[in-house]
C-alpha cells in the first residue's frame, strides 16, 4: 500500500509536464534550430595601392662580343679586362700572311690589267688612224681592235674590285672598339689562332655608363598602373643603399615560358659603382585606375577546380567564381560577378553548399 501511494502521484506529475508543452512551441523550437547564423560582411569598393618587390637584373646599355672575321694568329693584344676603350681604338692586331699575299697578288693583277688595257687602247688608236686612208685596214680588223679595247678595260675594273676585296680583308686584321666602354672578358693570348667559326668571343665590350634594370612583372599585375615613372631598387652588394631608375619601355608582350612582361628602367651609372649582371630587388608602387573589391583572405575558397566566395542572398548561399589580384595586408583583391552591398561570408568553406539557409550576422568593422 505504501509503494502504490508513492508511484501514483509521480505518474500524475510526469503526465502534467508532458501535456503542458504545446505543439506550436515545439514547431518554433525546431524551426529555429534548423537555421544557423554566420558572420558576413558588406562588400564595398576601395582604392587599391600597394608596394611590390620584384627580382630584377642590371644589364649594360650596350654589349658587344668581338669575333674575328678571318682566320689568323693574334699578333698584338692592346687591351685587357677592366681597360676602358674609346670608339675606334685598336684592340687586337692579327697576322695572316695569306691575306697579305692575296693583297699583293691583287695589286699585281691590277697593274697587269692596266698595262694590257693601255696597250690595246694604243693599238686601237693606231688602227683607227690608219683606217682613215681607204683600203688600208680591213673593217674586221677595226672591229676586233675596238672589242679588245673594251675587254681589256673591263679587266681593269675586275682587278680593281679584287684589290678592294683583298684590302678589306687586310682591314679585318685590325680589330677596333665599336663604342666607348670597358673590356669585361678576354679569351685570347699572343699567338692564338682565330677563325670566323669560333664559339667563344675574343673580347667582350660593355658600356656600363648607363644600365638597364629589367623587371619580369607577372601577368596579373601588368594592368596595374605605377603611380610614378621611377622605381627604387637595391643590390645585395650594397644593401644599405637605395637607387632610383626611370621607366624606359615595356616589352608589350607576355613571355610564354614564365607568364611575365618585361619592364625596363634606365639608371645612369655616373659613379660606376654598380656592375652589369648584378641582381637587384626593385620596389614598385602599384595601383588600379578604378576602385576594386578587397576581401579577407578567409572569404576566398580555393579548390582544384575553381576559386570562389560564398554570397548570402535572401537568406540562401551562392557560390560566385572570382579571380584574385593584389594582396594588401590580410586582404585580397577579387574580380567576379559581384556588386557593392553584397553580403559575403567571412570564413567560407566548400562545405557550405549553394542553397543553404543561413542567418546573417553582420561583422562589425
Q: Does 196 score more than 80 pLDDT?
A: no
Q: What is the side-by-side strand order in the sheet with 72-77?
A: 174-176, 90-95, 72-77, 193-194
User: Is this prediction's pTM over 0.85?
Assistant: no
Q: Kindly indicate the confidence band of residue 305, based on its pLDDT and cuts at 50, 70 and 90.
A: confident
**CATH number of the 97-171 domain:** 1.10.287
Between CA 277 and CA 285, with CA 283 as vertex, the angle to 5 degrees is 145
**Spatial contact of 166 and 102, defined as CB atoms under 8 Å apart:** yes
Q: Are 148 and 123 in contact (CB under 8 A)?
A: yes
- pLDDT tens digit string along 148-163? 878 878 888 887 888 7
- Tell me the C-alpha distance between 342 and 313, whole Å: 8
- Asked whether the beta carbons of 54 and 216 are under 8 A apart, the reply is yes
Mean pLDDT of 87-104: 86
Higher per-residue pLDDT: 250 or 162: 250
pLDDT of residue 286: 80
**Per-residue pLDDT reduced to its tens digit, 14-60:** 454 444 554 555 444 444 456 788 899 999 998 888 888 889 999 99
pLDDT digits (tens, 9 = 90+) for 56-85: 999 999 999 999 988 889 999 999 999 999
CATH 2.40.50.100 segments of the chain:
68-94+173-200
Q: In CATH, what is the architecture of 52-61+206-287?
A: Beta Barrel (2.40)
User: For residue 97, what pLDDT is reported?
Assistant: 81
Q: Indicate the fold that domain 68-94+173-200 takes in CATH.
A: OB fold (Dihydrolipoamide Acetyltransferase, E2P) (2.40.50)
Residues of the chain with CATH 1.10.287: 97-171
Provide CATH 2.40.420.20 ranges for the chain.
36-48+290-362
Q: Residue 3's pLDDT is what? A: 47
Q: How far apart are CA 96 and CA 74, in angstroms?
A: 9
CATH of domain 36-48+290-362: 2.40.420.20
> What's the pLDDT score for residue 170?
81
Predicted pLDDT at 119: 82
Three-state SS string over the chain comes to CHHHHHHHHHHHHHHHHHHHCCHHHHHHHHHHHHCEEEEEEECCEECCEEEEEEEEEEEEEEEEEECCCCCEEEEEECCCCCCEECCCCEEEEEECHHHHHHHHHHHHHHHHHHHHHHHHHHHHHHHHHHCCCCCCCCHHHHHHHHHHHHHHHHHHHHHHHHHHHHHHHHHCCEEECCCCEEEEEECCCCCCEECCCCCCCCEEEEEEEEEEEEEEEEHHHCCCCCCCCEEEEEECCEEEEEEEEEEEEECCCCECCCCEEEEEEEEECCCCCCCCCCEEEEEEEEECCCCEEEEEHHHEEECCCCEEEEEEECCEEEEEEEEEEEEECCEEEEEECCCCCCEEECCCCCCCCCCCEEEEEECCC
pLDDT of residue 14: 47
Q: pLDDT value at position 5?
A: 55
**Residue scoring higher pLDDT (334 or 104):** 334
Q: What is the mean pLDDT of residues 257-276?
A: 92
CB-based burial label for 135 (10 Å; 0-12, 13-18, 19+): exposed
- What pLDDT score was predicted for residue 27? 46
Mean pLDDT for the chain? Answer: 84
Amino acid at each position: 500500500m505504501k509503494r502504490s501511494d508513492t508511484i501514483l502521484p509521480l505518474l500524475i506529475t510526469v503526465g502534467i509536464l508532458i501535456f503542458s508543452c504545446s505543439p506550436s512551441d515545439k514547431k518554433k523550437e525546431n524551426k529555429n534550430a534548423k537555421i544557423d547564423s554566420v558572420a558576413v560582411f558588406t562588400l564595398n569598393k576601395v582604392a587599391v595601392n600597394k608596394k611590390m618587390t620584384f627580382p630584377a637584373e642590371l644589364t649594360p646599355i650596350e654589349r658587344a662580343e668581338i669575333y674575328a672575321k678571318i682566320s689568323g694568329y693574334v699578333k698584338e693584344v692592346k687591351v685587357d679586362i677592366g681597360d676602358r676603350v674609346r670608339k675606334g681604338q685598336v684592340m687586337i692586331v692579327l697576322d695572316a700572311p695569306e691575306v697579305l699575299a692575296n693583297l699583293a697578288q691583287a695589286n699585281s693583277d691590277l697593274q697587269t690589267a692596266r698595262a694590257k688595257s693601255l696597250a690595246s687602247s694604243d693599238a686601237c688608236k693606231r688602227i683607227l688612224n690608219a683606217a682613215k686612208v681607204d683600203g688600208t685596214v680591213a673593217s674586221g680588223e677595226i672591229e676586233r681592235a675596238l672589242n679588245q679595247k673594251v675587254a681589256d678595260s673591263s679587266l681593269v675594273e675586275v682587278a680593281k674590285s679584287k684589290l678592294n676585296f683583298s684590302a678589306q680583308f687586310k682591314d679585318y686584321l685590325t680589330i677596333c672598339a665599336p663604342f666607348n666602354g670597358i673590356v669585361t672578358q678576354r679569351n685570347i693570348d699572343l699567338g692564338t689562332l682565330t677563325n670566323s667559326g669560333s664559339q667563344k668571343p675574343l673580347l667582350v665590350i660593355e658600356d656600363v655608363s648607363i644600365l638597364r634594370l629589367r623587371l619580369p612583372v607577372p601577368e596579373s599585375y601588368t594592368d596595374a598602373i605605377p603611380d610614378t615613372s621611377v622605381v627604387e631598387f637595391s643590390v645585395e652588394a650594397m644593401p644599405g643603399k637605395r637607387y632610383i631608375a626611370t621607366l624606359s619601355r615595356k616589352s608589350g608582350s607576355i613571355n610564354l615560358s614564365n607568364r611575365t612582361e618585361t619592364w625596363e628602367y634606365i639608371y645612369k651609372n655616373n659613379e660606376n659603382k654598380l656592375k652589369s649582371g648584378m641582381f637587384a630587388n626593385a620596389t614598385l608602387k602599384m595601383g588600379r585606375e578604378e576602385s576594386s573589391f578587397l576581401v579577407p583572405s578567409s572569404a576566398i575558397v580555393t579548390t582544384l577546380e575553381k576559386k570562389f566566395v560564398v554570397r548570402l542572398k535572401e537568406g540562401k548561399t551562392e557560390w560566385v567564381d572570382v579571380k584574385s589580384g593584389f594582396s594588401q595586408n590580410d586582404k585580397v583583391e577579387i574580380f567576379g560577378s559581384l556588386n557593392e552591398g553584397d553580403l559575403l561570408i567571412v570564413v567560407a568553406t566548400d562545405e557550405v553548399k549553394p542553397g543553404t539557409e543561413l542567418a546573417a550576422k553582420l561583422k562589425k568593422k
